[in-house]
Chains A and B, each alone.
Chain A
Amino acid sequence: MDIFANLAHGFAVAFSPINLLMCLIGALVGTLVGVLPGIGTIATVAMLLPITFGLPPVGALIMLAGIYYGAQYGGSTTSILVNIPGEATSVVTALDGHQMAKQGRAGPALAIAAIGSFFAGCVATVLIAVLGAPLTKLALAFGPAEYFSLMVLGLIFAVVLAKGSVLKAIAMIVFGLLLSMVGSDIETGASRMAFNIPELADGLGFATVAMGVFGFAEIIRNLDHGAELNRDLVQQKITGLMPTRKDLIDSAPAIGRGTVLGSILGILPGGGAVIASFAAYTLEKKIAKNPSRFGRGAIEGVAAPESANNAAAQTSFIPLLTLGIPPNAVMALMVGAMTIHGIVPGPQVMQKQPDLVWGMIASMWIGNLMLIIINLPLVGIWVRLLRVPYRLMFPSIVIFCAIGIYSVNNAPVDVILAGVFGLVGYWLIKHDFEPAPLLLGMVLGPLMEENLRRALLISRGDWSVFVSRPLSAVLLAIAAGLLVLAVLPSLRAKRDEVFTESEN
């Protein structure tokens, strides 16, 4: 097993004309939708999921990965130009990026964001290739008890790193787990909580729930204060895209630090990319000679978080590809997409479908390169897109989502279900419940149940199996420790501080 042979194989797959095209389309469409304010990465990926259904699995996943990066890059574009972060990961980018734009330096800000992302993407691609194989071996040593504990740890991570109340986030996860139980039981085939509705017999569609809770709910929420969406658009013409030599020298170390931090945080399950960008910004501010420059258009304040979030976005594929456990909601959507294509993510995928795994890894690098090439010239178009008023945009998104959901199974009931989940999501937002853990719970539900059942079957009903097996015990202990830490007032205060810094 040679890393370079694998990567070379991956590039051979990814460089086939059709896959290159998929990657290009994905990156382009992802940016296009990601640029639209008020639509975050998760919503973008959820919305565009159906358009990949007609494709072969490798092409579909390459395209989805492209959509993911594109959406993320689109999010930073809106942060910089209009001060509306399309999503949580680019919230900090808005702090300094928008200031730069106001000073007429939108071009360099966008360019540095793209260059930083690209560099981070290169490092992360190599990292995935290096860590992929050994982690897969580790995964093979996992029994059902370890898997179950690992998923508990992953979910707890997601809770600890999420914004807001710990209790509410756990409640959302359990709600998601419950939703995943609707439909036929895997082992006995008994119909569970389906109320004899034939469309529910197969369970709630993952895309349906995601589109409802993220797509429709966000639209309805935005309509609430639709009038307030007056945009502080940067009107000056963007001149001078290229950063100066000084910009590059200033931002190079920041990009390096952001990449390292992001790569590490991305591997951890939980809100990887979001935390990474916050952490990178905080770090830059701490070590800067003159911290007061931050918030007034410091280029490091754009370079570091953008590199960090891109590095994290990519390394978060590692747990997905090696262990089959999605570390965040976007990866959960990826699992959904893989399942639809009949691929079960996990250690076996690496061995059984090298084309898919290595092709996708290579395409990440290509995708990042494409983002640089296509986005720098297209900035002008994205700016014009931002002037499309919301009153025209939202009905378009509604229709697009509706057609998309219908096309998944050709089932009108799915569309109605998504509408219902849209209202549920709206209610959740109103009560400050975060929908992302719900989605994660829903994806992990079947896996958790299966492993729990198997672990207990093997141990003959003895619950102590989770603490008597050393690996499982360690994982659970870490989870418990994290939970205690999260509830402790001192850390809570710090966590809230990290999140509020961005909101003022």
Chain B
Amino acid sequence: MSDTPSEAPVRSILPKWIRGPQDFIGGLAMMAVALFALWASSDLQGMHGFSFGAGTAPRMFAVLLFLLGAGVAVMGILQDGPHLSHYSWRGPLFVSASIVFFALAIRPLGLVVSAFASFLIAAMGSHETKWMEAVIVGACLTAGCAILFPYILGLPMPMFPRFLIQ
């Protein structure tokens, strides 16, 4: 199931001596995460005496992650590895948009409206979507969730838009 990079020589912006771009970039990103964590925990207290401060463990693991990231990046330089794989924009964009919309809408608009709208937004993430079908399935799913979560599972959540209830 691994996405093998396309066989056609990928034009790479990276210099030739990087033999495994996927690992190289991956390692660099881990190093960046580590640096970020170091910075974020820099205001915390360190060791006092032989007992750990709040910041000791985060800094310790951040340094470890930095070294590991560097290791991965170095392996990316030394070893032949896969190229960067192709990113598609459509799926990630619409799925994220749908999630964000749901998060913003659930409080003011309630479950019914936000679930249905998010369904349609997410459906845009695939070029195979047929709209009639999506609307019908979305409506059924919304109805199902509107019964399942608040009533069967007893999890309280707003159902309808706030301005309609008032």
Listed in ascending order, the chain A residues whose CB lies under 8 Å from chain B are 50-51, 53-54, 165, 167-168, 170-171, 174-175, 177-178, 181, 185, 187-188, 190, 192-193, 195, 216, 219-221, 223-227, 389-392, 394-396, 398-400, 402-403, 406-407, 410, 412-413, 415-416, 418-419, 422-423, 426-427, 430-433, 449, 452-453, 456-457, 460-462, 503
Contact = CB atoms under 8 A, between A and B. Distances in A.
B159 to A, nearest CB: 12
Chain B interface SS verdict (over half): helix
A223 B141 contact: no
Interface in B125-166: 125-126, 128-130, 133-134, 137-138, 141-142, 145, 148-149, 153-157
Nearest to A462: B50
Contact of A432 (B2, B37, B49): B2
A227 B49 contact: no
Interface string B15-48: 0000000110111011001100100110011000
Contact of B126 (A170, A216, A394, A449): A394
Contact of B51 (A190, A396, A457): A457
A402 B44 contact: no
A178 B55 contact: no
Interface of B: 1-3, 22-23, 25-27, 29-30, 33-34, 37, 40-41, 44-45, 49-55, 57-58, 61-62, 64-65, 68-69, 71-72, 75, 82, 84-88, 90-92, 95-96, 98-100, 102-104, 106-107, 111, 115, 118-120, 122-123, 125-126, 128-130, 133-134, 137-138, 141-142, 145, 148-149, 153-157
Contacts of A54: 153-155
Given A168-B26, A168-B72, A174-B68, 17 more contacts: A53-B153, A175-B30, A175-B33, A188-B54, A190-B45, A220-B92, A226-B91, A394-B125, A398-B118, A399-B142, A406-B106, A410-B157, A416-B99, A432-B22, A452-B52, A453-B51, A461-B51
Given A403-B111, A407-B149, A407-B155, A223 B99 contact: no
A54 B126 CA distance: 34
23 contacts: A53-B153, A178-B58, A178-B61, A185-B54, A192-B54, A193-B41, A216-B95, A219-B91, A389-B128, A392-B134, A395-B137, A395-B138, A398-B118, A399-B145, A403-B115, A406-B157, A422-B96, A427-B29, A430-B85, A432-B2, A432-B26, A456-B50, A456-B51
